[in-house]
A and B are shown apart, each in its own frame.
Chain A
Amino acid sequence: MKQKALVYPFYLLYKYHYLIYMLALKELKIRYRGSVFGFLWSMLNPLLNLLVYTFLFVVVFKNTAKHYPVYFFSGILPWNWFSLSMMEATDSVISAESLVTRSTLPAEIVVITRVVSNLINYLLSIPILFLFLLAFKMKISFLVLWLPIVIVIQFFMTAGFAFFPATWNVFYRDVRQIMQTILQLLFFCVPVMYFDTQIPLKYQKLIYLNPIAYLIKIYHDIFYDNITPRPELILLLFFIAIVVYIVGFNYFHSKKDVFAEYL
């Protein structure tokens, strides 16, 4: 029994990987339905955002930090992946009502799917970030090789956290409303818009109690600061991510028997 709780969350990923992939593509396809550019919007959106923010930060606010737009963008893109996944996952069980109440598909799949569809979205936006690095004459070092590892860590962490609001929202639809505010608050607690050195030291410690803040820091290491992420930090985050995933998955799993009655 104990062993099953540890292995099943990963077995499920393996068993349904193709379905998860197909469902994630479906989500994106629906998001861009009817548009001329379709999936290209996953690249165009960040590009347009980037131009607006660059104008705002560099021209209007005259932010003097070096290559500030690059700093901002290397952080906001993975943050968006996290935050959109959380938001969509919260609603995922309810919007997949017919699957949950009339098929034997494990409901965990619909939560994981939302994280994967936003991952695809994130992956598509990375080339834009590279273009931007080149435009700012910054070098793309082979620190980029760390990226897949960081992405795997973020995937498990996001999915693990997402299982909680996804569960609660079935019982209390209010969760969806609260999530928006929580994510907004969390956004300001993570050094995406500002540098961690800009805040008082005692708050710095507070901010780094949050594993997401560490993740964002690693993205900054790779793209902005060009320093090798500390391996022990990566290892620790990987461990945390796996634990969060297993705990979240099993929590969801323990509650899902009654989902069909609440939908």
Chain B
Amino acid sequence: MSVVVEVKNVSKVFRRHTKKHFSIKSAFVDFLKHGANKKEIVRALDNVSFEVISGQTLGIVGKNGAGKSTLLKIISSIIKPTSGSIKVKGSLAPLLELGTGFHPELTGRENIIISGLILGLSKKEIYKKIDEIIEFAELKDVIDEPVRTYSSGMYSRLAFSTAFSIDPDIIILDEILSVGDIAFASKSKEKVKEFKNKNKTILFVSHDLKSVKEMCDEAILIESGRLAKKGDVDSVIDMCLLPKHA
């Protein structure tokens, strides 16, 4: 059993959190007020450490804004931690949203190709898998129509099937299981279980504690940037359900 993801003393501090549009003017104003923006520091993650073992499915739970997404982005090396270190062994694919690179004007088929390439598949792989993806999404009849004509359920199915055509060692799933109708939701759960059976490592984030319980062996609870608990999935979820955490 080897450690494939090692998160060590990771902290992340965001500045100017409240300012979305930064401009030369506001930079100048801040410069004059000198240090006015020091107050706007937000500590998104505070000294978080944990390890994930190869083949494990780790659930990550916590309230909105607790720092889960920041943690996932740091593990996927989309953003850098302010301090601390991350080690990842093997290929890692983050699925942080459904429909990476999708555009409504393109057809379903074109979206599969572009999205698949962005997720890291080669040209050859994507053309090999495309029929399988279309079949899994149950969209054979409309695959050459622009995606803007799809219902939201059809869109989710297309996005999900495309995302799961990848074959990494470690996969990060951020709230993307509860898509489509009930039948498709169970089909997609099967897909995740298939990944699990192939002994892939999964980091699984969800607000749906029931599916966390069903999927994961262990879990961690993140609370205002801190690692509040790590342990087997039942005990973490029990703690999650205590009134002060709910």
Contacts and interface: CB of A to CB of B under 8 A. Distances in A.
Contacts of A16: 117
Interface in B160-198: none
A232 interface: no
B14 to A, nearest CB: 6
B231 interface: no
Contacts of B118: 19, 99, 103, 105
B114 A257 contact: no
Contacts of B23: 172-174
A104 B94 contact: yes
Contacts of B110: 22, 26
Interface residues of B, number: 30
Interface in B98-122: 100-101, 103, 105-106, 110, 113-114, 117-120
A99 B101 CA distance: 6
Contact of B106 (A29, A171, A173): A29
B24 A102 contact: no
B94 A98 contact: no
A22 B114 contact: yes
A18 B23 CA distance: 36
B97 A98 contact: yes
B32 interface: no
Contacts of A261: 14, 79
B94 to A, nearest CB: 6
Contacts of B106: 26, 29
Contact of A257 (B76, B80, B93): B80
B215 to A, nearest CB: 22
A260 interface: yes
A23 interface: yes
How big is chain A's contact interface, by range? 20 to 34
A63 interface: no
A262 B22 contact: yes
Given A98-B100, A172-B23, A174-B24, A104 B78 contact: yes
Interface in A73-132: 98-99, 101-105
Interface in A239-263: 257-258, 260-262
A171 B119 contact: no
A102 B103 contact: no
Contacts of A260: 73, 78-79
B106 to A, nearest CB: 6
Contacts of B117: 16, 18-19, 22
Interface in A1-44: 16, 18-19, 22-23, 26, 29-30, 33
A261 B25 CA distance: 19
Given A171-B22, A172-B24, A257-B80, A26 B114 contact: yes
Interface of A: 16, 18-19, 22-23, 26, 29-30, 33, 98-99, 101-105, 171-174, 257-258, 260-262
Closest 4 CB pairs of A and B: A19-B117, A102-B96, A18-B123, A260-B79
